[in-house]
Chains A and B, each alone.
Chain A
Amino acid sequence: MSDLAVPSPTRTRRLTAALTGGTGATWLLVLPAALLQLCVVVPLVAIATTALSEGTGKATHTVADSLFLDAARRTVVLAAMVTANCWVVGSLYSLSLLLTRGWVRLFLLASLFITFWISLLVRTYGWIVLFQPNGLLQHALHTFGLHSGDQLNLLQTTPAMYPGMVHIMLPYMILPIFGSLATLEPAQLRAAQSLGARPLTILRRVILPQMRAGSLAGVILVFILSLGFFVTPRFLGGPDDLTVATIIDREFEQVFDFIAASAMGLTLLIAVLALYVIADRALGVSRQWEHV
């Protein structure tokens, strides 16, 4: 497996040439490197110093607290569920994009990009309007006779978080999957058909292998982004649906315990990095990016 982590020779050579060659391209890296230093490395060092400012004891105590562990468990489950749902819906959506033509395809593409461009806050607020008691969903259910009597008790509950989170994460799943599917030649499908393959066989032997690279990229991307989810769970979930990100915010905003908040942030970062390294070793994720 170790060969997966090594960049391909041509890519390395090109990069080395760019850095050392006489083109002067090296200088182009100064600005981004400085920006990275200023906006990522410096704050991270500050967070790490704050987290450990009262020794490792306080930091470990914070992270071992049952409230944080519950939030961590809830966050992992949430991220996994969102990822699984996104993969199913995202695959179907990508296949539809591949198989449709004309205005249907245009409509699907437009919906995807418009979703992507509308602010996350606005989309989350849309779900609030839909889910709130006496809201749109309740009225719709009433109209169709599917719900009667009491108010709809959905906003600020755990189930209310899922549709919103899947909605917001979906483009990050569709784009890589569609990217890898787009290279599939329609002729391949016709060839499989003419050689006698049934639809399920085509799906299993032709389409799914083609989707693998994009699926992998999408799954990793959505899972990691979901681990840091903040706005959507905060507004659609209840106050007891604490995720790692909302609990960090709570430490900052309400408890004013900057050390605990930093320790939690650091833990989340380390977990995400470790996850990425493991995924990279096991599945060769960084190599898959090249195909996306």
Chain B
Amino acid sequence: MVNRSDMVDPPYQDYVSGGFAYSFCQAYNAKSLNGRKPETWADFWDVSKFPGKRAWPKFYLGTAEPPLMADRVAKDKMYPLDLDRAFAKMSELRRNMLFYESYAQAEQMLESGAVELALIPNGRVYDLQQRGAPIEMIWNDAVLLPWEGPVVPKGAPHADAMFALMSVMADPRNQAKMAKATGYAPTVSKAYDFIDDATAENLANSPEHKRNALTVDAAALARQNAAYSAGYTKWLGKA
């Protein structure tokens, strides 16, 4: 029996354990912005207030919510996503976007000063900060992916071994160690007993960050997944 991850949405708890939680947030290069600080997604879209490029992913996950928030869609009215509206808002910023293939490339763009702002998972900013780069993160209106986990394919020959590993990964102490090392948040609430305050500052589902974030509705997103993915790919391919 695999240890449970109690922070996973209840209907999925039988199937998901041992993963982590994170947020897509905006990050900026404090050196090139010279003390000015973006606060909302509307700021991210405001190229006259914050000139310069924005690093943006070539893959769809986490790309629709920020433009909708910038377009003043309320967080509790976010799902189902108004995809056409999201793509239209993204097109406004397209000339100022520099697209990345991987999160490592997004880090590199931020650090080298090629972009001033970025849409990026919080653990990547944590990594940059650990290395002393002048990169800051905005927790306000972050897009929180509340849980995720390893996938075991049906009929996998060593499923037992994988389940055993997932149990180890879901252990609260191990979840706490993972959080300290990567800045990615636990999916087991008891892990917070072992997490110090400084580490909690960097975690997407700490009570304070969770309150200011938009929590992704996994079930609603799953229903739109095909249209979302295909629509984003199409948007990306056409200028």
Are B239 and A254 interface neighbours, CB within 8 A? no
A129–B111 CA distance with the chains assembled, in angstroms: 13
Chain A residue with the shortest CB-CB distance to B114: A132
Are A156 and B52 interface neighbours, CB within 8 A? no
Q: How large is the interface on A (under 10, 10 to 19, 20 to 34, 35 or more residues)?
A: 20 to 34
Stretch at the interface among B16-24, B72-80, B228-236: B228-236
Are A133 and B237 interface neighbours, CB within 8 A? no
Among B51, B99, B109, B114, find the residue whose CB has the most chain A CB atoms closer than 10 A. Answer: B114
| Residues of chain A within 8 A of B114, CB atoms compared | 132-135, 155
A239–B59 CA distance with the chains assembled, in angstroms: 11
Are A156 and B99 interface neighbours, CB within 8 A? yes
Check if B53 is an interface residue, CB within 8 A of chain A. Answer: yes
A132–B111 CA distance with the chains assembled, in angstroms: 12
| Residues of chain B within 8 A of A133, CB atoms compared | 52-53, 98, 113-115
Given known contacts A239-B58, A254-B59, A132 and B233 CB-to-CB distance under 8 angstroms: no
Are A254 and B229 interface neighbours, CB within 8 A? yes
Q: How large is the interface on B (under 10, 10 to 19, 20 to 34, 35 or more residues)?
A: 20 to 34
Check if A261 is an interface residue, CB within 8 A of chain B. Answer: no
A242–B32 CA distance with the chains assembled, in angstroms: 32
Chain A residue with the shortest CB-CB distance to B99: A239
A132–B105 CA distance with the chains assembled, in angstroms: 13
Min CB gap B165→A, angstroms: 27
CB < 8 Å: which of A134, A155, A235, A239 contacts B113? Answer: A134
Are A250 and B52 interface neighbours, CB within 8 A? no
Shortest beta-carbon contacts, A-B, top 5: A240-B239, A132-B114, A134-B113, A239-B236, A133-B114
B residues at A contact (CB < 8 Å): 32, 51-53, 58-59, 95, 98-99, 101, 109, 112-115, 229-230, 233, 236-239
Please name 10 further chain A to chain B contacts, defined as beta carbons within 8 Å, in addition to the given A242-B237, A250-B237, A254-B233, sorted by A numbering.
A67-B237, A132-B98, A132-B112, A133-B113, A239-B99, A240-B237, A240-B238, A254-B59, A254-B229, A255-B229
